[in-house]
Structure 1
Amino acid sequence: MLCISILFCGAKGIEKPWKHGGLKVSDVGPYLSHADGTPFFWLGDTGWLLSQRLDRDEAAYYLKRCGEAGYNVVQIQVINGIPAFNVYGQMSMPDGFDFSNINRPGVYGYWDHMDYIIDMAERNGIYIGMVCIWGGMVKAGMMDEQQAVAYGTFLANRYKDKPNVIWIMGGDVQGDIRPEVWDSLARSIRSIDKNHVMTYHPRGRHTSAQWFADREWLDFHMFQSGHRRYNQRMGNKNYPIQEGTEEDSWMYVDSTRVYDPVRPVLDGEPSYEDIPQGLHGADEPRWSARDVRRYAYWSVFAGSCGHTYGHNSIMQFVRPGVNGAYFADGIAKPWYKALDDDGFNQMVHLKRLMLAFSYYERVPDRSAIRNNGVRYERLIATRGKDYLLVYNHTGRDMNVDLSKISGRKHRAWWMDAASGAVKYIGEVGKDMRYKPDGDADGVLIVTDVKSAYLTPETTSLISLPVSEARDLTE
Structure 2
Amino acid sequence: MNKKHLLVPILLLACALPLAAQRKPDPIEIPWENGRLRVSDNHRYLQHENGKPFFWLGETAWLLPSRSSRDEVNFFMTKTRRNGFNVVQISILHTIPAMNAYGHWALPQGFDFSSIDRSGEYNYWQHVDHVVDSAKRNGIYVAIVCVWGGPVKAGGMTADDAKRYGAFLANRYKDQPNIIWVNGGDVRGDVKPEVWRALAGAIREVDENHLMTFHPLGRTLSATWFNHEPWLDFNMFQSGHRRYGQRFGDGEYPIEEHTEEDNWRFVERSLASPPMKPVLDGEPSYEDIPQGLHDPEERFWQAEDVRRYAYWSVFAGALGHTYGHNSTMQMLRPGVSPAFGAKKPWWEALDDPGCRQMRHLKKLMLAFPSFERIPAQDVIAEENGKQYERVIATRGKDYILAYNYTNRLVKIDLTKIVGEKKKAWWLSPVDGAVEYIGEFDNGTHAFIHDSGYRPGNDRVLIVTDAKADYVRNNLE
Q: Fold conserved (TM > 0.5)? A: yes
Match of 2:5 in 1: none
Q: Is the 8 A contact 2:43 2:276 kept in 1?
A: no
| Alignment gaps of 5+ in structure 1 | 464-474
Q: Distance in 2 between matches of 1:211 and 1:97?
A: 27
Which residue identity lines up with residue 355 of structure 1 in the other structure?
A: L
Match of 2:183 in 1: 169
Which residue identity lines up with residue 442 of structure 1 in the other structure?
A: R
SS in 2 for 1:194: coil
Give the drift of 1:11.
6.8
Match of 1:340 in 2: 351
Q: Distance in 1 between matches of 2:25 and 2:210?
A: 24
Alignment of 1:320-331 (within 5 A): 320-327=334-341
Alignment of 1:355-366 (within 5 A): 355-366=366-377
SS in 2 for 1:128: strand
Alignment of 1:390-429 (within 5 A): 390-429=402-441
Which residue identity lines up with residue 233 of structure 1 in the other structure?
A: R
Alignment of 1:117-128 (within 5 A): 117-128=131-142
Alignment of 1:24-423 (within 5 A): 24-327=38-341, 332-371=343-382, 372-423=384-435
Match of 2:464 in 1: 447
Q: 1:420 to 1:194 in 2, by over 3 A?
A: same
Quick one: percent identity of the two aligned structures?
56
Give the drift of 1:158.
0.4
Q: 1:426 to 1:34 in 2, by over 3 A?
A: same
| Alignment gaps of 5+ in structure 2 | 1-7
Q: 1:11 to 1:255 in 2, by over 3 A?
A: farther
Q: Distance in 1 between matches of 2:107 and 2:441?
A: 65
Q: Is the 8 A contact 1:14 1:68 kept in 2?
A: no
SS in 2 for 1:210: helix
1:201-249 CA distance string (max 9 Å, x none)? 0000000000001000110000000000000011532101011000001
1:66-123 CA distance string (max 9 Å, x none)? 1011101000001112221000000111000000110011111001111111000001
1:2-43 CA distance string (max 9 Å, x none)? 422349899731201100010110113410011111001000
Which residue identity lines up with residue 4 of structure 1 in the other structure?
A: L
Q: Distance in 2 between matches of 1:25 and 1:11?
A: 33
Give the drift of 1:433.
1.1
Which residue identity lines up with residue 460 of structure 2 in the other structure?
A: V
Q: 1:354 to 1:176 in 2, by over 3 A?
A: same
Give the drift of 1:324.
1.7
Q: Is the 8 A contact 1:387 1:405 kept in 2?
A: yes
Q: Distance in 2 between matches of 1:111 and 1:178?
A: 25
Q: What is the total number of aligned residue pairs between the two structures?
A: 456
Q: Which moved more, 1:281-290 or 1:429-438?
A: 429-438
Q: Which moved more, 1:104-113 or 1:87-96?
A: 104-113
Match of 2:13 in 1: 4
Which residue identity lines up with residue 169 of structure 2 in the other structure?
A: L
TM-score calculated relative to the size of structure 2? 0.94
Give the drift of 1:411.
0.5
Q: Distance in 2 between matches of 1:224 and 1:326?
A: 17
Q: Which moved more, 1:171-180 or 1:26-35?
A: 26-35
SS in 2 for 1:71: coil
Q: Distance in 1 between matches of 2:26 and 2:177?
A: 19
1:365-392 CA distance string (max 9 Å, x none)? 1111123211101111000000000001
1:43-82 CA distance string (max 9 Å, x none)? 0000000000010011100110110111010000011122
Which residue identity lines up with residue 379 of structure 1 in the other structure?
A: V
Q: Distance in 2 between matches of 1:11 and 1:100?
A: 41
Q: Distance in 2 between matches of 1:140 and 1:83?
A: 12
Which residue identity lines up with residue 445 of structure 2 in the other structure?
A: M
Q: Distance in 2 between matches of 1:260 and 1:138?
A: 29
The CA RMSD measured in Å over matched residues stands at 1.5
Q: Distance in 1 between matches of 2:429 and 2:263?
A: 18
Q: Distance in 1 between matches of 2:303 and 2:192?
A: 37
Q: Distance in 2 between matches of 1:231 and 1:12?
A: 45
1:257-312 CA distance string (max 9 Å, x none)? 12111000000000000000000001100000000000000000000000000000
Which residue identity lines up with residue 342 of structure 1 in the other structure?
A: P
Q: Distance in 2 between matches of 1:250 and 1:37?
A: 27
Q: Which moved more, 1:23-32 or 1:65-74?
A: 23-32
Match of 1:470 in 2: none
Alignment of 1:435 with 2:448, yes or no, is yes
Q: Distance in 2 between matches of 1:255 and 1:416?
A: 29
Q: Distance in 2 between matches of 1:55 and 1:447?
A: 48
Higher helix share: 2
TM-score calculated relative to the size of structure 1? 0.94
Which residue identity lines up with residue 256 of structure 1 in the other structure?
A: S
